[in-house]
Structure 1
Amino acid sequence: MFAAPAHLPRFTPQEYFAWEEHQEIKHEYFDGEVFAMSGRTVNHGRIGGRIFSLIDDLLSESDRCIALNSDVKIKIQASEKYVYPDASATCDERDRQTTQFISHPSLIVEVLSPSTVLAASAFA
């Protein structure tokens, strides 16, 4: 997905979580700034969905690990960034205690397209 600036005031992470609960579209958070997520193409959605399904099937027998789809945020540990990858998985017990995001993913999957590569380079 491509992130576009939402032209909103700066938020703390807690303000962002409370605000985003009432939004119709997803937003990513980068050090106080909020970016609206644009829609995906059909192919992007199909690929992301298939990858999530494969991961979920592989982890279905696991008591420790869970697969997550593109609706679950990940906190980037080295900064105050919260993003929505296309799929992810976690095996870390600490992630079972959270409800709004995970912090210790074992796997992050992002389906790349020209727009996501451009957006990612803007935030690197």
Structure 2
Amino acid sequence: MIANKSQNYISPEEYLKLEELSPIKHEYIRGEVYAMAGATESHVTICVNLVKTLTDHVRGNGCNLYTGDMKARIDTASIYYYPDVMVSCDERDKAFKSLKKYPCLIIEVLSDGTEGFDRGDKFADYQELETLQEYVLISQKRQRVECFRRNAEGLWVLTSYTQGSEVYLASIDFRTSIDTIYQAVVFTTNDSEIEN
């Protein structure tokens, strides 16, 4: 989540040096650095469920799974984001230890504070990644998974999954029940905390 904007422009090289030493994560957008806020229990539980569910499948297919501590670098836009979950099957990404440039799948867990950004500018920025095949948004409020999939014409097509659905991720040829993604998630109607 973008929570706090810095006052001065810094170069991507300066950002990467500072980020190595920082006790908190920051995203970098065209010279501006933004501190990231913490996550809710639901957010963390969904991410843990995804990692647990995807790990063996992804590694068995020669791909690598990364959690919210790995940066996605968008060269064409001079941006570094920390996706909640990211998968790369591209050999070129093995050359980078603290960032990935060629993901095929990016997953973000939505919150009140980030939903508009995740659906809007962040999605537009991620579309600059030529290797990205799917962008997945997961709700914390109810069982709802939205998968934006790039088709053969380069257009992004939405497939929505709700309670009782089987979720399909074509980029890694993976299927799972939506219940597995939401296992142990408790939905609340009045959460006054600021979410990630």
Q: TM-score when scaled to structure 1?
A: 0.89
Q: Displacement of 1:51 after TM fit? A: 1.0
Q: Is the Cα–Cα contact under 8 Å of residues 52 and 88 in structure 1 kept in the other structure?
A: no
Q: Give CA deviations for 1:79-115 in whole Å, capped at 9, x if unaligned.
A: 1111011101001011000112000001100011221
* Pairs aligned (count): 122
Aligned match of 1:97: 95
Q: Which residue of 2 aligns with 1:81?
A: 79
Amino acid paired to 2:30: D
In the alignment, the residues of structure 1 paired with residue 55 and residue 7 of structure 2 have an alpha-carbon distance, to the nearest angstrom, of 36
Counterpart position of 1:12? 11
Instruction: Determine the structure 2 residue equivalent to 1:44.
Output: 43
Tell me the C-alpha RMSD between the 2 structures: 1.6
* Partner residue in 2 for 1:56: 55
* Higher percent of residues as helix: 1
AA aligned to 1:38 is: A
Query: Which segments of 5 or more consecutive residues in structure 1 lack a partner in the other structure?
Result: none
Counterpart of 1:34 in 2: which secondary structure? strand
The CA deviation string for residues 50-86 of structure 1, in whole angstroms up to 9 with x for no partner, is: 1122221211323x31111110000124311110111
Counterpart-to-counterpart distance in 1, 2:40 and 2:79: 24
**Structure 2, unaligned runs of 5 or more:** 125-196
Q: CA deviation at 1:40?
A: 0.5
d(CA) in 1 for partners of 2:99, 2:121:
23
> Computing the radius of gyration over CA atoms, which structure comes out larger, 1 or 2?
2
Q: Summarize the Cα distance change of 1:8–1:24 in structure 2 as closer, same or farther, 3 Å threshold.
A: farther
Q: Structure 1 residues 9, 53: CA separation in 2 closer, same or farther (over 3 Å shift)? A: same
* Separation (CA, whole Å) in 1 of partners of 2:23 and 2:8: 18
Question: Sequence identity, in percent?
Answer: 35
The yes-or-no answer on 1:25 pairing with 2:58 is: no
Find the counterpart in structure 2 of residue 110 from structure 1. Answer: 108
Q: What is the deviation of 1:9?
A: 2.1
Kindly state the Cα deviation for residue 118 of structure 1 after the two structures are TM-superposed.
Answer: 3.2
Instruction: Return 6-15 or 27-36, whichever deviates more.
Output: 6-15
